[in-house]
Amino acid sequence: MKYRDIQLDSQGRLRHFLTIEGLKQQTLIDILDSAENFSTVGTRNVKKVPLLRGKTIANLFFEASTRTRTTFELAAKRLSADVLNLNINTSSTTKGESLLDMLRNLEAMHCDMFVVRHHSSGAAHFFAQHVAPHISIINGGDGSHAHPTQGMLDMFTIRRHKPDFTALRVAIVGDILHSRVARSQIHALNTLGVPEVRAIGPRTLIPAQAESLGVHVYHDMQQGLRDVDVVIMLRLQRERMQGALLPSENEYYRTYGLSPEKLALAKPDAIVMHPGPINRGVEIDSSVADGPQSVILEQVTNGIAVRMAIMAMVLGRPNEEQEAG
């Protein structure tokens, strides 16, 4: 069963949010528009809307995370949902209980949604295949496969600075081979009509047949950055690397790290992004990460509104987000 088949209901609405791949452009635009409505909730005295009151959302994070888990938790609470954070390191799965047994026990607690982050590609899809019909799954990142909510918050951030996707040239730089974020970004950028997406990195960190993903491959960073509107830097995924794919971090920074000199090759109003956490002096110079063209902290803020929008849509209330306006 394909991801796009299982994540849509019979009316074509989101039942799960597992991947951006296969979704229609209008679905992505609906998410971005809904997130725009939610973006002011965090600035209010009472930072809540009642959309998911009475719903229970469980965060199932099998991988360590601060930024993603925290923004999912804040998003759920601002929608007035009850939130359960499961500490997997101390859970019964470490005592031999299977994922399916754990899933059945959580279902018995009458949860409405599971946010799943797992080190294995396809884990969220596995949950979606086996979960009870009334429960929805959101993929919080699975292996090297997909991180769709990160991809959408990046699109939201880009649109706020560069509203016309069809006029953009976007560069994604670094460890694309191991990056679930990059895959989600590429699917989203292509679906939203970006005419040129560039993948920049060493040969050892670019997937084979990368062009089939809809990108133009560059191994020379100076050439790849020339005249781009958006520069997205990626973290080196050393925990997913097998073997010596890089000579050294110093050599990597010299060749593929984003310095002020390299950024000057992009358009003067280009924005700089990074999904975090940042390795300063490896992927990006501090003067760039903290500079006027950086929107890295905006990405974190925008993640709350985007995840609120996705949760509201997935739980079958595509129009009620207007209450947030």
Looking at domain 148-295, its CATH architecture is: 3-Layer(aba) Sandwich (3.40)
Closest CA to 113 of 154, 64, 166, 149: 149
* Cα 291 from Cα 268, distance rounded (Å): 13
Residue ranges covered by each domain of the chain: 3-146+301-324, 148-295
pLDDT of residue 66: 83
Long-range contacts of 283-288 (CB under 8 A, 24+ apart): 283/173, 283/174, 283/233, 283/234, 283/235, 283/236, 283/252, 283/253, 283/256, 283/257, 283/258, 284/233, 284/257, 284/258, 285/257, 285/258, 285/259, 285/260, 287/260, 288/258, 288/259, 288/260, 288/263
Three-state DSSP class for residue 267? coil
State the distance between the two ends of the chain, measured CA to CA, in whole angstroms.
37
CATH of domain 3-146+301-324: 3.40.50.1370
Six-digit token pair at 160?
A: 């706020």
Closest CA to 253 of 275, 283, 278, 214: 283
Domains 3-146+301-324 and 148-295 belong to one CATH topology:
yes
Q: Mean pLDDT by 10-residue block, N- to C-terminus, for the chain (325 residues)?
A: 72 93 96 97 94 94 87 96 80 61 87 92 92 94 93 98 98 94 97 98 90 94 98 77 60 93 98 93 95 97 97 70 43
pLDDT of residue 277: 87
* Cα 3 from Cα 1, distance rounded (Å): 7
Q: What is the 3-state secondary structure (H, E, C) of 193-213?
A: CCCEEEEECCHHHCCCCHHHH
pLDDT of residue 154: 98
pLDDT of residue 3: 53
Say what the pTM is.
0.91
Give the distance between the most distant pair of CA atoms in the chain: 57
Six-digit token pair at 116?
A: 């799943």
User: How many alpha carbons fall within 13 Å on the CB side of residue 306?
Assistant: 27
